[in-house]
């Protein structure tokens, strides 16, 4: 099943890879206290996200489809694999998180996580 999922994901990445032309490579969200989350999109569909609150990096794969950005994250905690997909919407040159899905029992489930409405990522100036 894992190989089948990988093949579907790989073909989806290839079919969507040409649609990221209007996405910039680096995005930031600066908090009031001066620290910032940052997201870097690499040309090979990999990304790196720095979480200022956790002071740590997360890496994964991304897909751009129309005006949506999907960040796919996978990590291992206590021997189990945790998989998540964060969906961001591009509106007026701002990225806004709109949905978080987790894989549970081999099914993708919408977590109904409520993102802070003031959280937006802007294109980085450097």
Dump pLDDT digits (tens) for 63-87.
999 999 999 999 887 777 889 999 9
CB 26 within 8 A of CB 124: yes
Sequence-distant (6+) residues with CB within 8 A of 72 are 9, 60, 61, 62, 63, 83, 84, 85
**Nearest Cα to 27, choosing from 98, 75, 88?**
88
**Nearest Cα to 38, choosing from 21, 53, 16, 17?**
53
- Domains belonging to the chain, first-starting first, are 2-123 (2.40.128)
Query: What is the structure's pLDDT at 55?
Result: 92
- SS3 per-residue string spanning 9-26: HHHHHHHHHHHCCCCCCE
* 16 pLDDT tier (thresholds 50, 70, 90): very low
* Residue 40 in tokens: 């870097």
* Residue 57 in tokens: 């990096």
């Amino acid at each position: 099943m894992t190989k089948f999922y990988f093949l579907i994901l790989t073909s989806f990445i290839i079919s969507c890879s040409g649609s990221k032309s209007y996405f910039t490579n680096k995005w930031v969200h600066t908090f009031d206290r001066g620290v910032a989350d940052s997201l870097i999109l690499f040309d090979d569909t990999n990304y790196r996200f720095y979480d200022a609150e956790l002071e740590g990096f997360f890496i994964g794969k991304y897909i751009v489809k129309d005006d949506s950005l999907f960040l796919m994250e996978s990590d291992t905690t206590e021997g189990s694999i945790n998989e998540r997909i964060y969906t961001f919407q591009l509106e007026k040159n701002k990225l806004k998180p709109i949905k978080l899905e987790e894989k549970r029992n081999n099914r993708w489930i919408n977590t109904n996580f409520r993102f802070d409405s003031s959280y937006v990522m802007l294109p980085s100036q450097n």
